[in-house]
Amino acid sequence: MASTYTDRIGLEKQGDGENSNTWGLRLNANVIDLVDEAVAGYETITLSSGETTLTDTQATSNQARNMGLKFNGTLSADCTVVIPATEKVYFVHNGTSGEYDVYIKPSGGTAIKLVDQGESEMIASNGTTINTLEGKTSVTNAANIYVSATDADVNYRLVFTTATDTSGNQALYKDVSAVAYYNPLNNLMTVPNLNVTGITSSVGIVATSIVAATGTFSGVVSAATLDANAFIGGTGSFSTVSATGNIISGANITAAGEVTAYSDERLKSKIETLDGNKAFGMRGVSFVKDGKKSSGVIAQELEQIAPELVDSSGEYKSVAYGNVVGYLIEAVKLLKQEIEELKGNK
C-alpha cells in the first residue's frame, strides 16, 4: 500500500511493506524533521501587496508548516496572507512597514486583520475561520487601569469618569507618582466623548491636539503650565481648572462666573503710576481672524509702546488685554485734568 499523508501538516504515513531499505531515511526526512519544523520552525516571509499564498507541500519543508511566521516588507497596499484550509495554530509577528494592514485567511475562508505593525499574536485556524489570542485583559468596574509601558519606571493610567463607564469617556496618561512631567492626552484624535477630571500634578500637564465631539476638562490642578491647546474640537467646557503656569486653549474659554487674576498689593513691589500718554499712541483695530470679524490691537504695535503687555514666548505673540486697562485709566485722568483746565480758562 502506498504512503498517505496526515491531514493537517502533511507528514508521510508509510504503507505496510513499502519503501524497503529507505524506510528510516524517509521517516527522518518526511516525518521527524517536519514535526520539528511544525513545532519550532520560524519562517520570515516578505510581503508587498495583494495576496501571498504560503507554500504547502506534502512530506517536504514548506512555509505554512512553521509554527512561527514573521511578515516583513514595505506595503504599498493592504496585503492578505493565505494559509492552507486545515487546522493549525500559528504565532505571527507583523514586521511590515507602510501605512497599510496585513490580513490572513485560510484558503477559501474568511480573512481577519492581523495585529498592528510591530506587534505579535497567536492565531488558530479550523480550516475556514481564524480565532486570535492577543494579550488583552478584561476588566469590569475599574476606575483606574495601570498599563505597562516601555518607558523606564513609568506606568500609564487609563482613567474612566466613573467606575462603570465604558462608553468612551476615558483618558490615558502617565502616572504622576512615577514621572516628573507627563502628557495625559497628547495627540489624541477623534474621541467621541472625552472627559478628563480630577487630575492633580505637582508639575506641568500637557493636553494638545485633541479632537473631541464633546467633553470636559474639569477638576484639573497643575503646579506649572497647564497646556490644553486645541482640547475641544466640538462642544466642551473647562471648569475648576488651576495652574501656577499658563493655561492655553486653542478654542474659546467661556466662564460661567467672573474671570479674575491676583492683584493684591502684598504680591507686588516697585509700584509706579503708568504714563497715561502712552494710551494715545495705541491703535484700536478691527480685523478678521479664523474667518471671524473681531477687534482689538496688533501685538507688534502695542509692543513698541508697552512691551510688558505682550508675550512673545510662543510661536505667535499674545496680548494681556486686561492689563491695557491701567493705561486707559491714566489716560482718562489726563483727559479729565485737561477738561478741568479748559473749564478754568473760561
Decide which of 48 and 223 is more confident: 48
Q: What is the pLDDT of residues 286-310, one digit of tens each?
A: 999 988 899 999 999 999 999 999 9
What percent of the chain shows pLDDT beyond 70?
63
Give the integer Cα–Cα distance in Å for 314 and 202.
Answer: 23
Decide which of 41 and 204 is more confident: 41
What is the arithmetic mean of pLDDT over 59-70? 94
Element (H, E) at 18: none
Q: What is the pLDDT of residues 146-173, one digit of tens each?
A: 444 444 444 444 444 444 444 444 444 4
Relative to beta strand 50-53, strand 226-228 is unpaired
Give the integer Cα–Cα distance in Å for 285 and 293.
Answer: 11
Confidence at 200, pLDDT banded by 50, 70, 90: low
Decide which of 250 and 177 is more confident: 250
DSSP output for 111-142: -EEPPPTT-EEEEEEESS-EEEE-S-----S-
DSSP output for 251-263: S----SS------
In the predicted structure, residue 141 carries a pLDDT above the cut 60? no
DSSP output for 287-307: EEETTEEEEE--HHHHHHH-G
Relative to beta strand 102-106, strand 112-113 is antiparallel
For the ranges 179-188, 222-231, 233-242, 323-332, the one whose mean pLDDT is highest:
323-332
Confidence at 92, pLDDT banded by 50, 70, 90: very high
The answer to whether 325 and 309 are in contact (CB under 8 A) is no
C-alpha cell at position 188: 489624541
Give the integer Cα–Cα distance in Å for 175 and 183.
Answer: 10
Among 103-112, 147-156, 178-187, the minimum mean pLDDT is found in 178-187
In the predicted structure, residue 138 carries a pLDDT above the cut 70? no
Decide which of 222 and 47 is more confident: 47
C-alpha cell at position 90: 500559528
Q: State the pLDDT at residue 19.
A: 76
Decide which of 151 and 67 is more confident: 67
Confidence at 199, pLDDT banded by 50, 70, 90: low
The answer to whether 324 and 270 are in contact (CB under 8 A) is no
CA 146 to chain centre: 16
Q: State the pLDDT at residue 274.
A: 95
What is the arithmetic mean of pLDDT over 191-208? 54
C-alpha cell at position 162: 466613573
What is the arithmetic mean of pLDDT over 213-227? 57
For the ranges 24-33, 246-255, 280-289, the one whose mean pLDDT is highest:
280-289
Decide which of 194 and 271 is more confident: 271
**CA angle 317-318-321, nearest 5°?**
150
In the predicted structure, residue 234 carries a pLDDT above the cut 70? no
Amino acid at position 194, single letter? L
User: Which residues, including other chains, have CB under 8 Å from residue 20's CB and lie 6 or more apart?
Assistant: none
